[in-house]
Amino acid sequence: MRVQGITMVRLVMLLLGVDYLRKRARAILSIGVIWIAAGLTVFVDATGGARHFPLTLFAWLFLAEGIATLAVAWTGVGGQRVLRYIKGCAVVGAALLIFAGHHHGNFILSMIFGTLFLADGLLQCVSAWIVRYRRWRIAFTWGTAEILIAVFFYQPYPTHYVGTLPYCLALFLMFGGLNMIALAARVRRLDSNPALRRSRRSALLPEVDVPRESRMFDRTEWDGPPADDERALTVHVWTPSGSSRAPAQRHPIIDRYIAAVDVNGVISTGHAALESPEGIYISLYPGVEIDRSPGEFGRILRATPDNDVPGIFQPDYATEAKAWCPSTVRVRIRNYDPVKLRAFWERYRRNTHYNLTHRNCSSSVSNALEAALDGAVGRLWGERAGWGGFLRVLVTPELWVAAQIRKRAVTMAWTPGLTLDYARALSMLADPRPFAWWKASRMAITRLFRQQRAWREQDAEALR
């Protein structure tokens, strides 16, 4: 949960920019303190048996949120749609269990929360131990903490499962408050966006003076993605199954996010690249074949310098598509900063090494995309950006989706499938769409008025 919160803070800093957040640092700090105080209050009440916590009210709120999420889940694309359906079903299920009440409902709800924490903690610990990326010990520690939280939910002390929901809300408020305080503290002492900084080994951005963001668009939301003739940044993805030479065998999830195996036994891992209208093309390949035999599999997964191999950058999309095949999927984004993207590219291209889990084609594209989207809200709103932009980012479902994807990618490895879903989520944040529930309501009302108009026309025809 803590790593999830750090990832979300990073994305908020990326989209809003340091200048925007610095002006509101004191208010953000106050919100963080209030959240922590509220979380501690709820936790203490839960320990005493949740005597004052309005369980029924929260059950109704959960039910409304879950139904709303399911009603608009169809508006998502790919992995976004799946995550929305999962979230909607989980929230509705939690609400029904709260309504069921008594011992059995609370017990089942506690087992579900405990299992989720246990699975996430174990996955984080195992991936951190295997991949050994930078700061893997910190991630391992937080994974262990999630396992301990799971044990807390599993055992009945001290409320015999009555305080399950208040405990979860308390944890959410406390961790959220800590993240708010961390966000306020960091932006007050920084000149550039730390969301774009990396370790010394893979520093990406040079120290450049980038002009303060000003409004660059005549609107703040769009009804859909950019048209083919519209100026936009393009993320190209060759999915493992889509780029396979021969028909691929179906393995759900695996052939979407890891690798596909065709009927001849040939493995395809897919590829990702980024293209800008200014002529920048980022597509990293290993310069030498990597030994992927089962005996070496555990060793090559480690994100350590001894697994670096020479890499090469492809010249442009036309050359790559001609030598291989056209990209399977494209994600296009209007709202990007070409200056920051070029600054990233000028520094990044100096190092041509390739690492299967630490510096591959997908991680290169994801890092470049983050550099290009820095300060996206400022480019939309300019000086008129207020608390509305901050709240808009926080309540957009794709922020949660992007944070989930990024957490999995940085604790394991970026793959073309994860990069595709990450780019789709960020595109919804950089080029905001009308809120899905509002869009669905508007469509329903429009259809109703059209139907009524058609009925009136039919009645007029009948009277003639």
The tally of CA atoms less than 13 A away on the side-chain side of residue 315 is 4
Residue-level pLDDT at 292: 53
Beta-carbon contacts of 382 under 8 Å, excluding residues fewer than 6 positions away, are 213, 214, 215, 216
Percent of the chain whose pLDDT exceeds 70? 73
Q: In whole numbers, what is the pLDDT of the chain averaged over residues?
A: 78
State yes or no: pLDDT of 438 exceeds 60: no
Lowest-confidence pick of 80-89, 392-401, 425-434? 80-89
DSSP lists the bridge partners of residue 274 as 235, 282
Tell me what pLDDT residue 420 has.
Answer: 92
Q: What is the pLDDT of residue 235?
A: 96
Q: What is the pLDDT of residue 267?
A: 64
Q: What are 265's two structure tokens?
A: 């036994």
Question: Percent of the chain scored above 90 by pLDDT?
Answer: 20
pTM: 0.76
**Residue 148 pLDDT grade (very low, low, confident, very high; cuts 50, 70, 90):** very high
pLDDT (tens digit per residue) in 194-207: 545 544 334 344 44
User: Nearest-CA neighbor of 232 among 316, 338, 325, 340?
Assistant: 338
Q: 66-93 in b/e burial notation, b at 16+ Cβ within 10 A?
A: beebbebbebbebbbeebbeebbeebbe
Instruction: Sketch the domain layout of the chain as residue ranges.
Output: 2-195, 202-386, 434-464
Summarised one tens digit per residue, pLDDT across range 72-111 is 676 665 556 776 787 788 888 878 877 776 657 778 888 8
